[in-house]
Amino acid sequence: MTQHPSPTPSGDRTLVRLDVDRAIATVTLDSPRNRNALSARLRSELSAALSEAMADDEVRGVVLTGTGPVFCAGADLKEVGAALEGRDVEPAPELPEIFEQIMGAPKPVIAVLNGAARAGGIGLVAAADIALAPKSATFAFTEVRIGVVPAIISVPVSARMHSRQLSRYFLTGELFDASAAARAGLVTQAVPDREMAHAVDAVLQGLRGSAPRALSRTKELLGELGAGALAAPDRRKEAFARMGELSAEFFGGEDAAEGRASFFEKRPPRWAQ
């Protein structure tokens, strides 16, 4: 197995790890202290790791996973608050760019969940070509409960989830389990926890047994077929731009400020009943 540590400032702990073994690159979100939240540095390292994996001619497919009990908690709310207050936040690729790296990649990406996914973290799951989740994993689109809209992630998520379940979970922000996520189309398979290694191996063996050029073209074909209007390759840029404006509008609003405050103060937001 070859390890490729992602670039990071001297002395800082790497937040994303890249390992290559038998034609499969594994990109691991490794920031368990904040539940693998999508901070600027994590996004930078994630984007760099994805680019490196896709440029490696020996890599047939990419596994995206995490460490700790949570796959990805979504946006780093502390950073969001800091940016809105005018404080410096290091430049980094935004989520549309990362989602596009995954959705438009020339190689298949398999999300292998190690635990719960929330908000923007679910966008990573939806962007992947295949998603395997342990039955113990939970999901929630928590945006409406902190006063914002699940705008940007709606692009990849709407391409996966059935419309009735999408409406329910977007509008209520309620928790749902991996089996419900599979029925809704968000994940490919909900797997008994003890069988995850076997399920992942079955998928990876399929990729390892596929001709690289045929595998890449088949992924391109799936993109051409399209699973939803927002996810169509020729409309994604427009859709992400439109959703970015909507996201910025709500993240900068009073409800979002109250949502962040209630999150950090561990109390219900003022609109909770």
CATH number of residue 186's parent domain: 3.90.226.10
Which of these, 97, 50, 46, 49, lies nearest to 71 by C-alpha position?
46
* CA pair distance 271, 168, nearest whole angstrom: 19
Mean of per-residue pLDDT scores for the chain: 90
Question: Would you please indicate which residues are annotated as catalytic (active-site) residues?
Answer: 143
More confident residue, 25 or 247: 25
Q: Is the pLDDT of residue 128 over 80?
A: yes
pLDDT, tens only, 161-212: 999 999 999 999 999 999 999 999 999 999 999 999 999 999 999 999 998 9
Q: What's the domain range around 61? A: 2-192+223-265
Q: What is the pLDDT of residue 227?
A: 47
More confident residue, 19 or 237: 19
Q: What is the pLDDT of residue 182?
A: 98
Residue 84 lies in a domain: yes
Average pLDDT over residues 206-225: 87
Average pLDDT over residues 235-252: 85
Residue 11 lies in a domain: yes
What radius of gyration do the chain's Cα atoms show?
A: 18
Q: What is the pLDDT of residue 246?
A: 85
Tally of domains within the chain: 1
Residue 207 lies in a domain: no
Q: What is the pLDDT of residue 10?
A: 39
Report which secondary-structure segment, H or E, holds 200. Answer: helix 196-208
Residue 245 lies in a domain: yes
pLDDT, tens only, 134-171: 999 999 999 999 999 999 999 999 999 999 999 999 99
Residue 198 lies in a domain: no
Q: What is the pLDDT of residue 88?
A: 76
Q: Is the pLDDT of residue 228 over 80?
A: no
Average pLDDT over residues 92-101: 95
Among residues of the chain, what percentage have pLDDT more than 70? 92
What is the pTM assigned to this prediction?
0.89
Residue 199 lies in a domain: no
Which of these, 175, 50, 158, 167, lies nearest to 109 by C-alpha position?
50
Q: Is the pLDDT of residue 264 over 50?
A: yes
Residue 51 lies in a domain: yes
Residue 213 lies in a domain: no
Contacts of 272 (CB under 8 A, 6+ apart): 145, 262
The gap from C-alpha 48 to its chain's centroid, in whole angstroms, comes to 15
